[in-house]
Every structure is written in C-alpha cells, then in structure tokens.
Structure 1
Amino acid sequence: MKAVCWHGAQDMRVDNVADPQILNPRDAIIKITSTAICGSDLHLYGGFMPGMQAGDIVGHEFMGEVVELGSAVTNLSIGNRVVVPFTIACGQCFFCDSGYHSLCDNSNPNAGIAEKMWGQSPSGLFGYTHILGGYAGGQAEYVRVPYADVGPMVVPESVSDEQALFLTDIFPTGYQAIAQCDMQPGDTVAIWGCGPVGQFAIASAKMLGAARVIAIDTVNERLDMAARQHGAETLNPRDVGNTLQIVEALRDMTAGRGPDICVDAVGLEAHGVGPEYWYDNIKQSLQMETARPIVLRQAIMACRKAGTVSIPGVYGGIADKIPIGALMNKALTIKTGQTHVQHYLKPLMDHVERGDIDPSFVITHRMRLDQAPEAYDMFQARRDNCIKVVMQP
C-alpha cells in the first residue's frame, strides 16, 4: 500500500509499504477514505519531536471503512464507516474507566521511554513517535486499529466524511480545551493560535456560552476565519508588540481584569516578535530547550487572577523562563493534556448530526495522498492561505 512516511526533518515521502495485518483479536483493519494533516504533524515535519525513525508512517486524523476484524471485536461490522480517535485506549484500566482515555495505562508498548521523559506514560498515539508507541499512522491506504472494540465510532449516514473526520482529533481537542475550564456565563476567553485546533476552541467556547472570545494570531487569514465563522474579536501580536504589550492590550479589552480563560492552542513552535522570540528560537535550534513557550508565558501573564490557563498545544520536553511566580501568586489553574477523544465522540457527533456545527468549515485545501510532501510544505509555509488540508488515497 501507499503511505506517507517520515524520513527526517522536512522530508516526508509517499512510500510503498506492507499492508497492515490483524495482530490481536481486538484489532481492526480500516481502509482509509479521508485523512488530514494536523498542526502537531508539523512538529514531526520540522524535526522537533524526538523518537521518530526513518520510514515511520505518520498521521493521526483519519477515518474509513472497516475491512477486517479481530475475533474479539463485536461492536463493529465489515463495511461500517468509522471515525477513529487519535488516542489509543484499552477501555479497561483505571484511567480509561475514569474517562481519561489519553492516559491509558495499557496502550503504549514503549511506556518505559515515556516514563524516563515525563515520569509516567500517557496512552499510545497513532503515527506520533516511538515514545508514544511507534504505531503506524493513518496517512495511508490502510491502517491497523488496536482496541477497535473501544475506539472507532460508526458514522451516521447523514454525516459526511468531511463533517466527521475532525472528530478524530481537532474538534474534541478544541472542545476539551474549553470544557475542562469550568467556564461560567459571562466569561471572556482568549485563544492564542487560530489554526485548526484554535478554530474549534473558538467554536466550542461560543457553543458553551462564552460572552466574548478574543482570537490571537500572527496570520491574518486565520483571524479572518475566526471573525467570519465565529464572531470572534481579533488581535494580531505583530500589530501590538512584545509580551508586555500584548498583556496590556488584553487588559484594555477586558476593563483591566484580563481574560477569565486563556488557551494556548499553539504549543512548542510559537512565533513572536522581539528579543523574546529570538532567545527561544536560538535556544531551540541549539537543542538547549525543546519549545518556544512565548504563548504560554503570555497566557499566564494575561490571565485574570484566579483564572484558568488551558494548554491543548503540544509540548514534548522542556522550556525556559515560565513565569511560575505569576502562576502561583495569581492563583491560576492549569488544565492540559492530550485529548480524551473517546469521552467526547458521541456528544460531539450529536452536535454535528443536529446541525449545531459543520466541522468542514476549517478545510481550505483538498489533495490526493500522493501529494502529501507538497501538502506538508504548503501547510508549514502557510502558502495559498492554507489552514487545513484533507487528503484522500
């Protein structure tokens, strides 16, 4: 089969690889009908995530048709059209039973590596480093899905592929970023990063009753989408200045108090202006830190006292100069983590089926799987106003 494989920084190729096979009675084989490039895939493309090996099949946003089932999978049938969570969960451990599927104790066969880095291991993920299991991803013609009796969900006939596809990751990720913050009526939410996850965080904040949403990004096309699709207020840091000036601008927009909830939907490759950005950029390039935490610093400094900072953006290692004093003295709450997709699949699918939201609004480009190298390059460079690429085998 054809699959998109990582061969190093800035080097994605479409290779011919072996078809996946059933390895466990709880497996399923899915024929991919739609797959997408996630913003976090760009961290792999840029070479910022450790644990990748040449030839690894990437991709964790995918859906398709069930073509083969292990003997223990009784909830699915051959021919079902399914959406597959990017987090792999056994459904039986303490964390799965508690609804924390991205913290599954049993789905990462390389848990020992993750434990050395983070103290404990989260769940395995599709197509996202050997630290998180080394599982083959879904930017391919077929994929093996472990624990298929827990993860995949049958898509209603009334919901198209493009409406369902983002339930694999970015819609639940944006939703969880807001839902975990105990938002109150009248709250103001500031969201850094208006890429795909940020767009769904903005949409979710509106769905959950935010009085105001302030969208922050350096790319005007993304800000335009946030304003047009969701009625968000917008702020471009390039028009404002450094961290202190951005914090001041947000205070001015909130009568001096600051946003009630601040969301870092950017993660480890944040952009900024001035010495702060270049400090982080140089240290990251020299591997003296693994992240550019500019946005995280801004979110902590800008958030109102006793507010909540939510971090759906991906971080994998260490970062410098986090304002821990502000975090402690302002009594802030931090909410973060990979997404517990299985927990949110059914309620979010209900929203889509009722017409409350059409997730396909975020798609800007549709391409073939064999165009993946071009798609990655375009997405990273943000050429042609690229915000989200969907590919079909």
Structure 2
Amino acid sequence: MESADVVVVGAGIIGAACAEALSASGRRVLVVDRGAPAGATTAAGEGNVLLSDKAPGPELDLALASRRRWPELLESLRGELGEALADVEWEAKGGLVVATDQDSITPLRIITEAQREAGVEVRDLGQAAARALEPHLTTAITAAAHYPGDAQVQPVLAATALLAAVRARGGAVCGGTAVEGLIVKGGKVAGVRVGGEAVPCGAVVNACGPWAGHFSITAGAPIEVLPRRGMVLVTAPLPPLVARKVYAADYVASVASGDVDLQVSPVVESTPTGTVLIGSSRQRTGFDESLEVEVLRRLARGAVRLFPVLERVPVMRAYGGFRPYTPDHLPVIGRDPRIPGLWHASGHEGAGVGLAPGTGRMLADLMDGRRPEVDPVPFRVDRPALMAQIKA
C-alpha cells in the first residue's frame, strides 16, 4: 500500500466528504474502511439533507452551509466524473412538519420563528394548507410548517460519487481493510499500520462513524462517540403518495434527546423508486443488531397516524443501523490536541448526509490553515462535553 498525504479511516458519507475536500485541496488521499465503502451507517440511512429538525446553533449553521454546498458540489462532480457517476438522486423536495394536538402548536411556532431568524426558509401552515401540499395526510392536523430547503439524496450513491472523485484525483479507496493503529514519531503522526504493513502519511482522519470511539482508543486519543440505533420500514413500491419528507413535531425533541430508552417519532417519505420509508427510532443499545418487533410496530402505527392510507400497504423489508452519538449532540470536527496529525470527523448522529459537505470543507480549511465558513470552535475535540473522556 503506497504512502499518502492523508489517510481517512472510514468510507461512509463523512469520510468520503472529507476525502473529497482534502483531495480537492491538492492532497493525495487514501481512504481505508474495514468493511465495504458506504456499507454501514451510510447504507442504513435515508439520505436526509435537513434544516427543519435543527434548532438555531452550531449544527444549524453547519447544516445551512452544507445545504448551500450540496448542489455546487454535485455540479462540480458532474463536470469531473460525468453524469452517470455523479447521479445521486438529488431531490430538493422540501419537508413538512406537522402537529396533531393542541399542545404541539406553540412549541412548533416557537422553533419556526427562531429558525427564520437564523436564516431558514419556513412557512407556518394550517390544516388546509398542509393537506393541499400532502393530500393523503391525516385530518387531525392542528398546525404545520413547510421547509422548502429540505432535500434528499441516495446516500450510498452520494458517498460513491465522492470517493470516485478521490480516485480520479490520484487517491485510493481500500475496503475490507482495517487500520490497526497509528505510527507516531517525534510525538506526531507518521503513518498507520494496516495488515501488519506500515503506510507513511502526514495526517490521519478518524471518520469511523459509530466506531469512532473505538478507533480513537486504538489511536491513543479517546473521544466519546457512542452508537445510537435506528430502524426503518420500507414499503412495496407505490403510486405517488408522499411528495415530501413528513414528520411529527415531536421528532425534533426525539433527535435532541439523550435518553437511553427507546424514542419513536413518525417520519414518512417516498423514494424515486416508489417505496415509502418509515422511521424513526432512536435507542442506545450498544452494537446490538437484532430487530425488535415492538419497535417496528410502533413505527408502523406512527406512520398510519400521519397517513391513514398506509394502513393496508405491505411492508417489503425492515433494517437497522447505528448513528454516531455524542453527549452534546454536536459532531467532533478538527485536530486532536494530544497527537499532532490526528484529526476527527464524527458524531453527526442521523445528520451525516446533510452535514457532509460542510464537514469536509471545514476539515480541509482547518488543515490548510484557512478560516472556515462556519465557526469550528463548537465542534472542537477538547470541548467541555467531551473533556471527561479525553482526560481519561
């Protein structure tokens, strides 16, 4: 295995976006993944590019920058790779958040007003306007909010396109290959150990998603990134039924919750193939991969409450995946102060696809000594929420 300027460990959407941005800045990048590229968390995702589920703050700032970046990046990839390789099923279809009881109206209006002040395009709607956008919605709507900026991509195709650009620029992508540890000389990164072989490099990026915590321990610089499990139902292909991503207003609270116990909030959206994806669940179960029937039942019941027309629609399959979770719900992006040359890009939980372009650009800017578009300080490795683990 040849030397590289940077080794990115992890070939999911975040690792792919970091590798693309670093190769665009002129570096030779090697991407290494113990499994198939885009085969773990990214393959289990829905491809959401969302502004609607984020309260004002650092994550929303990064989401806004990433949402601006996605179309520009895809246009650049089309020019570089051709239409076929750069087709990631981008859909700027918008999102709809709905309240179905009186108690949810005020919290929904409070967050939409705050998001507007932060630069998000959002329209407050009543029942009639919401059902005009989504005619199959339940009539039990008390309020709704429309987010024209919400979008969706096919996550595996998106990661594959980013990795194809890395290869086209002289980099390499190696799946089925585990990085066994860092090589540190003179107190800084000098390479990685792969299959008993030393691969020289000047920097290493930990983009291992839910396994970033494990890799950080192997690297000798632990960070607290934990797996948080989610499950999704997939219906058989249907005629056009749901035009946007539609979810209940309590989904935002579920995303922000740090509870270990199961959190379920209905989320429904269609794909270009006609299938309907039904989520969303969050549960801290370690790396337990077993499907839980009760979780699937709750997902199905929640979807039917939003869209009664789904009651008799057959479910084709169900799958689960692990999101990378941090205690303060913010990604970890930037240099590790303990080992010069070690960088982290993880902890995006379920927002990795949406935040990927901004994350890659921020990491490349920091590595090049440029000032990033988004303030990197809230995402730093040595922030207080992670400090206890870092000191351990």
TM class by shorter-chain length? under 0.3
For normalisation by structure 2, the TM-score amounts to: 0.23
Structure with bigger strand share is 2
Q: Which has the higher contact order (CA 8 A, sep 6+)?
A: 2
